[in-house]
Structure 1
Amino acid sequence: MTALRHPNARLIDAATGEVVRDLVRPDLFTDVPPGMVFLRMPTTVEAVCQYVTAFETGRPVALLDPGLPDETLLELVDRFEPAAVLGPVPAELTDRVRATAPKTAPHPDLAVLLATSGSTGNPKLVRLSRRAVLANADSIVEALGITGDEVAISALPFYYSYGMSVLNTHLTAGATVVVEGEGLLGRGFWPAIDEFGVTSLALVPSQYEMLVRLRFDPARHPALRTLTQAGGRLRPELVRDFHERMASVGGRLFVMYGQTEAAPRLTTLPSGRLGEKLGSVGPAVPGGRLSIRLEDGTETTAPDVCGEVLYRGPNVMLGYAETAADLARGDDHGGLLVTGDLGRLDADGYLWLDGRRKRFGKVFGVRLNLDDIERMLPVPAAAVSGDDKVIVFVTDGEPPHLRRSLADRLKLHWTGFDVRAIEAFPLLSNGKVDYRALAS
């Protein structure tokens, strides 16, 4: 595959019903100097066309949350020197982000950049090559059996790697993407599923929790026959629940595991084996290989050996970028991704995850640095990862107030944070916080 957009691919604007087939806007970059561009990417047809145009014309593009605080956007502009900032820009910032000729030319293989750490800290950008993006799209098309008859809907933002992947796979397969901006709880979302015959829905764990509260019944949506899940660990009882719901109408649930650094999907659990492999995230996607690295540095694919998960494949990133100078770098990883996750392979090569080596959590699919969260609070705190939420223990302060403060600071819903008062932090013999004891 050499192009992202299959000739038969189309978008449907859920708000107007307009069908859009011509996704490339040739004049988009006429007045823009050469170099990488920022795209503040709302869930709109226009934003998708800007992304596709950049990709198909060889213009590296960084996909950004349009809700980033102004100061964060300006800090990123200063660090990465984009040739232009596309998408919604507040009037008071236009002079600060106007088109300029970057000092550093990006590497010719560079295609897409995505932020690594949600809204916390000083985010690095993941450098993805054109080959990596297309290879992962092709792998997922094969693993899920996506054809030109499929219709997806934008349940996830496109600047999030999983949402971008849903868009990429359906464009590559010549399928349809319904662009609906309100989201799962919006008034127009479920009517759009039925009106436009949506066949597949991609969600993160917190959204599956929402479906439980909404009493989701796939029988009410005759065309919807495929659910996919990634973006964190879904409780096994819910995996089984939704597998059974979909099976009752002849549908499928696919559980997947991914990282932004792999463009982004690494494994897919075949729906037909979910019952016997409940808790696994499946084998590597087509074209990829998994192995386990032990403490002594040796690698193995032997069953039931726990260690750090390694992945090799054409979809692995070129590397990270922290400044504009890094955009000129080539391939730093040679197709090897050290995931930072602990896990084991079974006799069939299926991966079972057992936690992370480093301290990150996920809230609504957004990866957050737990150390950054601790530093944000005005009182001593210890943060651990829960099931699609972050649990924060404090020895001083008002939990409800701190919960809202975190949510506001990180631009995420408050239900993604659980702040609990504790008399004292459990400590290891070296005096450090015993995070394992807190997590249990």
Structure 2
Amino acid sequence: MTLLGDSARIVDLVAGRTLDLTGEVAKAAEEVAALPEGVLFVRTAMDAPGLIRYLAAFESCRAVALIDPALNEESLARLVARFRPGAVLAAPGCEPPPGYLRKDGHWVRGETDGVRPHPDLAVLLATSGSTGKPHFARLSRNALLSNAHAIGEVLRIGADDVAPTVLPLHYSYGLSVLNSHLVRGATVVLQPDGIHAPGFWDAVTEHRCTSLAAVPYHYEMLWRQEFDPAHFPALHTLTQAGGRLRPELVTEFDTRMRAAGGGLFVMYGQTEAAPRMATMPADRLAEKPGSVGPALPGGEFAIRHNDGSETTHPKITGEVIYHGPNVMMGYAEDAHDLAKGDELDGVLATGDLGYLDEEGFLFVTGRLKRIGQVFGNRISLDDLEQAVLATGLGVRMVAAVPAGDKIVLFTEGVAADVCKEISRALAERLHLHSSGFDVRALDAVPLQTSGKIDYPALSELV
């Protein structure tokens, strides 16, 4: 099984060339095979070398961990100590940790013997860590390939499709865009500067990009910039994942895409599912506002009751359970976990709350662990954020963090004096004293490289 469809291409804008994937990957695979045993750490910047190393590892059945190149040296050294990788590819310029030698720009483990990863293991991805300690999700070749093919099917990705890179490859959504296009023989335009850069939209026009994948933060930005898809005639598909997009913007971008002859696909996933589990068909988005759609082909949703039983009956709220071939093998905390086989048997307890309708379309209503307390009253932090956005007070972004017996809400896009109005509005809505809602104004809510809100960073400000 391969990730490379017959006509799959990568356009490298930095080098100004289209990559010969077959030749480039084969050459890199020889280098990968010569490295010491163990998982390989690949620091994946938005560049051709990192992408080729990932594909070479995948195609040659070497387990690979995709590492954020912005990870600081101390954190990287701790990961190396825990997992003892065979090598850290594209290593930083500092001295390598004990037991490693610098060679050709990499850190290579001096000892040839290491923990041999399970033969099914293909990729390790760090979870977002937005609500707790980050883990590595252990993803098998079958999980990644089945998910890539399923996404290609529901989005009808074909050899003529072209997608620019918007999200980093060490983020599961960004990797998914790459995988689902390459496996269908489509083209990926490697744009290193991201959606903020002026040259990004020049590349979308020049290479006639047909789709664009983005997270809620990007859509907020595009809305403020009055993005009009009609200016890009080849662009027929927008996809959205990485958190809940506020309903007004779902409606807005759905309307804009319909007017331009295209569609908006709202998606739902987690890193632990390689990563996508559901896609809302664009032609039914207006019919079922708030839904993330049915499960991808090959998958199935159920709702878990408090007693542990599962149901697919409609309108029953509980924890969302996903069954599918794309579920991870389990988590990895250290090198010894890499040798473990499949511990989940295709069943993922998502930690999300939701319900199904009569057609099996999923509605996600919040997180089990995203709960705070105000004077002893348990409150969903996700619901609270949506309530702030719905106040009409001009909040562009909000992040709620528990703080003992109150909740701190960090806002972006409002003046400091508006914070008191938000506190009063929440108090009136929830029939609680306004002192339970500590609303603070920030110039910008901190984000992770994936574009998601950096809740751990905000917790340190409480």
Residue in 1 that maps onto 2:19: 20
**Residue type of the alignment partner of 1:212:** W
Superposed displacement of residue 411, structure 1: 7.2
1:2-36 deviation digits (Å, cap 9, x = unpaired): 11111210100123431012241233225411221
- Counterpart contact for 2:33–2:60, Cα < 8 Å: no
Identity of aligned residues (%): 49
Equivalent residue pairs, number: 404
Do the aligned partners of residues 277 and 415 (structure 1) sit closer, same or farther apart at CA in structure 2, a change above 3 Å counting? Answer: closer
Q: Which residue of 2 aligns with 1:246?
A: 257
2:309 to 291, 298, 305: 298
Specify every segment of 5 or more residues in structure 2 that has no aligned partner in the other structure, as ranges: 101-106, 372-380, 386-398, 413-421, 423-433
User: Is the 1:82–1:102 contact (alpha carbons within 8 Å) kept by the matching residues of 2?
Assistant: no
Say which of 318, 330, 343 aligns to 1:332. 343
Distance 2:210 2:303 in 1: 36
Confirm or deny that 1:318 pairs with 2:329: yes
| CA separation of 1:26 and 1:299: change in aligned 2, threshold 3 A | closer
Asked if 1:284 is matched to 2:287, the reply is no
Counterpart residue number, 1:433 = none
For the residue of structure 2 that corresponds to 1:26, the secondary structure is helix
Amino acid at match of 1:11: I
Distance verdict in 2 for CA 1:419–1:260, change over 3 Å: closer
How has the CA–CA distance of structure 1 residues 284 and 88 changed in structure 2, closer, same or farther, with 3 Å as cutoff? same
Question: Is residue 157–residue 164 contact of structure 1 (8 Å, CA) maintained in 2?
Answer: yes
**Structure 2: how far apart are the matches of 1:227 and 1:13?**
22
The answer to whether the 8 Å contact 1:10/1:176 transfers is yes
The answer to whether the 8 Å contact 1:399/1:419 transfers is: no
1:119-138 pair list within 5 angstroms: 122-138=133-149
Question: Once superposed, what is the RMSD of the aligned Cα atoms?
Answer: 3.4
- Decide which moves more: 351-360 or 217-226: 351-360
Query: Could you tell me how far 1:96 is from its partner in structure 2?
Result: 6.5
TM-score normalised by length of structure 1: 0.84
Instruction: State the match for 1:46 in structure 2.
Output: 49
2:84 maps to a residue whose letter is E
Specify the alignment match of 1:77 in structure 2.
80
After TM superposition, give the deviation of residue 415 of structure 1 in Å. 8.4
CA distance in 2, matches of 1:386, 1:167: 33
Residue 367 of structure 1 is matched in structure 2 by: none
Distance 1:287 1:261 in 2: 16
Q: Distance in 2 between matches of 1:65 and 1:120?
A: 19
Q: What TM-score do you get using the length of structure 2 for normalisation?
A: 0.80
Cα distance in structure 2, aligned partners of 1:266 and 1:240: 22
> Secondary structure of 2:341's match?
coil
What amino acid sits opposite 2:11 in the alignment? I
Where does residue 158 of structure 1 map in the other structure? 169
Question: 2: distance between equivalents of 1:249 and 1:399?
Answer: 39
State the alpha-carbon separation in 2 of the partners of residues 8 and 28 from structure 1. Answer: 24
Deviation digits for residues 123-161 of structure 1 (CA, Å, limit 9, x no counterpart): 310000000000000110111100011000001111100
Counterpart residue number, 2:127 = 116
CA distance in 1, matches of 2:266, 2:283: 11
Select the residue among 139, 143, 158 that pairs with 2:154: 143
Q: In 1, Cα distance between the equivalents of 2:284 and 2:162? A: 24
Q: Aligned match of 2:221 in 187, 201, 210?
A: 210
**1:122: Cα distance to partner?**
4.9
Distance in 1, matches of 2:126 and 2:152, equals 24
Corresponding residue of 1:34: 37
Aligned residues of 2:12 and 2:191 also touching (Cα < 8 A)? yes
C-alpha distance in 1 between matches for 2:280 and 2:290 = 10
Deviation at 1:94, TM superposition (A): 7.0
Task: Name the stretch that deviates more: 86-95 or 251-260.
Answer: 86-95
Match of 2:90 in 1: 87
Whether 1:230 and 2:241 are equivalent positions in the alignment is yes
Unmatched runs of 5 consecutive residues or more in structure 1: 364-369, 426-440
Cα shift at 1:298: 1.5
Note the C-alpha offset of 1:93.
Answer: 3.6
| Contact kept? 1:382, 1:394, Cα under 8 Å | no
SS of the aligned residue for 1:91 comes to coil
Which residue of the partner structure matches residue 68 of structure 1? 71
Q: 353-362 or 54-63, which moves further after superposition?
A: 353-362
Contact 1:35-1:83 within 8 A present in 2 as well: yes
Provide the rounded CA distance (Å) in 2 between the counterparts of 1:394 and 1:133. Answer: 47
* Residue 99 in structure 1 maps to residue 108 in structure 2: yes
